[in-house]
């Protein structure tokens, strides 16, 4: 199966390891102009209030949808020569593995 994506973000590993994380979204998932999500802080007076409003907080955070993230080694990333906005495709194949 082949799936097409658009590169939305490229970020270095936060722990300093030699990896790059590439965030992908499908072309249909990309609507209007993209902008960074504005982080929101919620304050609650009690645990009951927090539990009641937790679903609202999650739904607001997920309004932008989900992204597919792949982890690449630095050498793989350099060979691909990709940048944000590039269209890429991934081939997904099931491999037959025999356990002995």
Domains in the chain, number: 1
Average pLDDT over residues 48-60: 67
pTM for the full predicted model: 0.62
Q: Find out whether 8 and 23 touch, Cβ atoms under 8 Å.
A: yes
Q: What pLDDT was estimated at residue 56? A: 66
Q: Is residue 17 part of a domain?
A: yes
pLDDT, average across residues 28-49 = 62
C-alpha to C-alpha distances, 2 to 5, 26, 70, 71, 86, nearest whole angstrom:
10, 12, 15, 18, 16
**Across all residues in the chain, what is the average pLDDT?**
80
- The range of the structural domain enclosing residue 57 comes to 2-91
Length of the chain: 100
Q: Would 22 be classed as within a structural domain?
A: yes
Does residue 53 sit within a domain?
Answer: yes
Residue 99 in domain: no
Q: Is 60 inside any structural domain? A: yes
79 pLDDT above the threshold of 60: yes
Q: Which residues contact 73 (CB under 8 A, 6 or more apart)?
A: 18, 19, 20
Instruction: Let me know if residue 98 belongs to a domain.
Output: no
């Amino acid at each position: 199966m082949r799936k097409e994506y658009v590169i939305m973000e490229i970020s270095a590993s936060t722990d300093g390891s030699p990896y790059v994380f590439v965030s992908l979204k499908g072309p249909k998932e990309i609507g209007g102009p993209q902008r960074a999500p504005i982080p929101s802080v919620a304050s609650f007076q009690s645990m009951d209030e927090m539990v009641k409003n937790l679903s609202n907080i999650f739904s607001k955070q997920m309004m932008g949808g989900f992204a597919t993230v792949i982890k690449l080694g630095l050498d793989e990333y350099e060979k691909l020569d990709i940048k944000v906005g590039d269209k890429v495709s991934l081939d997904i194949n099931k491999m037959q593995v025999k356990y002995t």
